Amino acid sequence: MTAVEWYSQQHLKLLIKLENKELSIGEYAVQHQEMEKQQIIDAHLNGQAEFDKGKFRKEVMINAEEYYNETFNI
């Protein structure tokens, strides 16, 4: 599954929950933001893994979270 397919699928699930009143507009916004955050972190990890020739390290995950927070001023 491509990143775009994953994003589309997850977004559709959120929209269905919103339509079915399983989520409030505020909950939808929070979950959507978390989904985007995870996608950005995953992209960073995948890029780092490629750079490191596939060697995932625990500190890479920490750096991915820091990258997101610094990039998006959170």
Domain layout of the chain by residue ranges: 3-71
Model pTM score: 0.64
The alpha carbons of the chain give a radius of gyration, in whole angstroms, of 15
- Concatenated DSSP letters of 24-64: -HHHHHHHHHHHHHHHHHHHHHHHHHHHTTT---HHHHHHH
User: Phi, psi at residue 71, to the nearest 5°?
Assistant: -65, -40
pLDDT in tens, 34-73: 988 888 888 888 777 777 765 556 666 667 788 788 888 7
- Tell me the C-alpha distance between 59 and 63, whole Å: 6
pLDDT in tens, 26-36: 999 999 999 88
